[in-house]
Structure 1
């Protein structure tokens, strides 16, 4: 299924960088802690939305695609 992108380019780049940082912090800084794994999982979701350009939460909130 193809989704229409609902994130502008600058936000996609920001989400990609933020997701990578969250994964690194979760796995390295909070090593072995359940909170670290949770932060890393949220980072993976953030990274994927940055790569794909579609955020289901934004679509649910009624956010319109960039022009």
Structure 2
């Protein structure tokens, strides 16, 4: 798959940290079906942070400056 990164480094770090925190909270505090749904949604945020590509950002035309990655 060919894609261009559209998430800056600072936001990637934020997505991974916040996403992992929400996954942990969803599993430990919420539980059940809603906890599973929330954990899977947060896992998507973590993956977008790890890969540096966000499909929703791509749909609205977000691009990174070449000088700032």
With the length of structure 1 as denominator, give the TM-score of the two structures. Answer: 0.90
The CA distance in 1 between the partners of 2:65 and 2:37, in whole Å, is: 30
Matching of residues 1-20 of structure 1 within 5 Å: 1-20=1-20
Question: How many corresponding residue pairs?
Answer: 66
Structure 2: give runs of 5+ residues left out of the alignment: none
What value does the CA root-mean-square deviation take over the aligned residues? 1.0
How far the C-alpha of 1:27 sits from its partner, in A, is: 0.5
The CA distance in 1 between the partners of 2:65 and 2:20, in whole Å, is: 24
With the length of structure 2 as denominator, give the TM-score of the two structures. Answer: 0.88
Describe the superposition over 1:9-50 as per-residue Cα deviations: whole angstroms up to 9, x where unpaired: 000000000110111011001122x22111101111000000
